Amino acid sequence: MPDPEQRLIVLSGPSGVGKSTVVAELRRAHPDVWLSVSATTRAPRPGEVDGVQYHFVTDEEFDRLIADGELLEWARFAGNRYGTPRRPVEERLSSGLPVLLEIELQGARQIRETMPEALHVFLAPPSWEELVRRLTGRGTESEEVIRRRLEAAKVELASEKEFDTTLVNTSVQDVCAELLALITASEV
């Protein structure tokens, strides 16, 4: 029997690359694929529902989750904390079912340490220019914020070599199909 950790797929990549769009499309088109729902201290955005995109928790609740060892990994990102609840992931994996985590780089590195058999997938932008275009996007952020995000993106892009495979986000549909193929392959 294959190691249950081999069914764990970690999707990561620079902010602005479109990870959450890919995951939203996967939820819509393939509700059968099980996605871990993270806990976060950030406030819900319009349209986000507690328990669907995230479990929205207070700082105190997040402290408790850490103290009780209930998170598989966690990280600070842009002033908030994000973490993967341990139990649902472990239950799925021990039943032999695939699990998809969509997390940022520091969390992916923790998983690399604690669950070495997981498959790490890097979502890359089609080009640096395209990432700049997406991060500059709505044109609502100050130049300073955009500059900091681009600096962070450079660091994140340099981490690609730590990953087992790269998917280039040319189209959301294509990336979803490629991710599904990886998930299906993990079930064999």
Measure the CA–CA gap between 87 and 181, rounded to whole angstroms.
Answer: 25
Burial class (CB in 10 A: 0-12, 13-18, 19+), 127: exposed
CA 109/CA 104 separation, integer angstroms: 9
Alpha carbon 15 to its chain centroid, in Å, reads 10
User: Measured from the CB of residue 65, what is the shortest distance to ligand 5GP in angstroms?
Assistant: 11
Nearest distance from C-beta of residue 113 to ligand 5GP, angstroms:
13
**Closer to ligand 5GP by Cβ: residue 1 or 51:** 51
Which is closer to ligand 5GP, CB of 64 or CB of 187? Answer: 64
Minimum Å gap between C-beta 188 and ligand 5GP is: 27
Q: Is residue 120 a contact residue for ligand 5GP (CB under 6 A)?
A: no
Binder among 25, 77, 157, 159 for ligand 5GP (CB under 6 A) = 77
Q: In what order do the strands lie in the sheet with 80-85?
A: 54-56, 38-40, 80-85, 71-77
Q: Is 45 left (phi over 0), alpha (psi -120 to 50) or beta?
A: beta
Q: Which is nearer to ligand 5GP, 145 or 187 (CB)?
A: 145
Residues that bind ligand 5GP (CB under 6 A): 15, 19-20, 38, 42, 73-75, 77, 82-84, 102-104, 106-107
